[in-house]
Structure 1
Amino acid sequence: MIGSKQAENMNFFARNGYQIAKLKSHSFRHLLNRLGRASGVSVEVLTEWSSRASTVQTRTYLNDDPIIAASKCAVVLGTTQEQEPLPPITNEETLLYGDGPFHRSRYGICRRSWRAGPCNKFADCLNCSELLMCKGDKIAAEIIKIDRDNLVRTYSAAQRAIAEGERAASRWTEKAGPQIERLDQLLVILHNPEIPDGSPIEMVGEDFSHEKVIVSEKAKATGAKLLDRNELRITYGDDLLACLELLRSPDNA
């Protein structure tokens, strides 16, 4: 609306409490430029039609949305990628995937379900019960021997540092010593001629996982007690654990 205070009072919207909309003639110039641009008129033609000095001034008037401009350029250049989301799969189709693909680490087969989450051991495979090794795997045996030799050298250097009064090294040796013994025992198994090649070797480890932490916290909050597998084995024997594993099997779900 253009005009004086009297004209504003005559406005229907003003009389009924709405905000007054003011429109200047120059606004139509902006509108026609943007309509022309939206209809595909080039910036050069709009510049000449509007009698501007350069296309830079016209681009300032247009206020193009960068996302829309990029989409139009993608269509012209033929770089548009149509995204077609896949439909959700059914419960029957999920059973076809089983436990998902296994992957080989340096030491053997990792049975970690990557659908549940990433590795919780941070690649500490030799202390993880989800590692399945194979007797006769020469690559794994050689790598374990290299790891053991490197650990022994570092452990010996740490012992010398402790003897010289460096107390910081003592905490690491508390973990490294048992680990060396574990690697020695594993190498004995891998080179034992009485164990036939191809025999599976399952590691026994104190497995930390974020899932177990969450379950423990929820059990504590509800007052439930989680039974330890070792305590169950000592009290009731392996038969009970085998029965529990059978009940946990997906085939019996």
Structure 2
Amino acid sequence: MADHDHDHDHDRTVKPMVDEVTDFEVLEIALRELCIEKGIFTAEEHRRFTEFAEQIGPTPAARLVARSWLDPEFRALAIAEPMTASKEVGVDWLEPTGFGTPSDFTAFEILVDTPTVHHVIVCALCSCYPRPILGNSPEWYRTPNYRRRLVRYPRQVLSEFGLYLGEDIEIRVQDSNQKHRFMVMPMRPENTDGWTEDQLTEIVTRDCLIGVALPRAGVTTNVVVATRPAVHPVGE
């Protein structure tokens, strides 16, 4: 009877959700424990930074754009000294570690759209992204489908996000890398005269700041953008 109960309990044991740890997870654990052992940071500092990184979102960047639409002097500051302008909307790129997010940036640039030029950002090799001001990148930004196709078929890829641009508008694809981070400053949409900074901030979505959408009156971060299947899939 004892053997039977033992076998029965064994059969009911819940299996782990992941059968094995990935190579990347092993690397992360090893590097984290080594850094803690060497005194580069403590386990408490690692926990604090991880929690900090998870709560970052694109609202400060949206406010930076909205303020730039309203204040020509701030707009000039944002273009010339984006790190300083970031602090004006509450983003200090050195927080909370005192030395910034590891490998997160060396330089930060704001790409300004015009009536004839539209910018869109990508990291063709991996997933470089200005996390301190935009938060964590969306899942699609990190996929090979987006990374590889945007540099080849930018107009088509944008149309798959529901953004259709005329042939008279030049599309400039800016490739992020380990040394540079970018965000887009879209043009202020029509029918927003007299709006406050808070009202304008609400319509500058994360996708607008990446360049795969345009701000529009009545469209906020809560709107789900319709997409369509790719004509040129990643395998081509």
**Bucket of the pairwise TM-score, normalised by the shorter protein:** under 0.3
With the length of structure 2 as denominator, give the TM-score of the two structures: 0.19
With the length of structure 1 as denominator, give the TM-score of the two structures: 0.18
Structure 1 or 2: larger helix share? 1
Q: Which has the larger radius of gyration?
A: 1
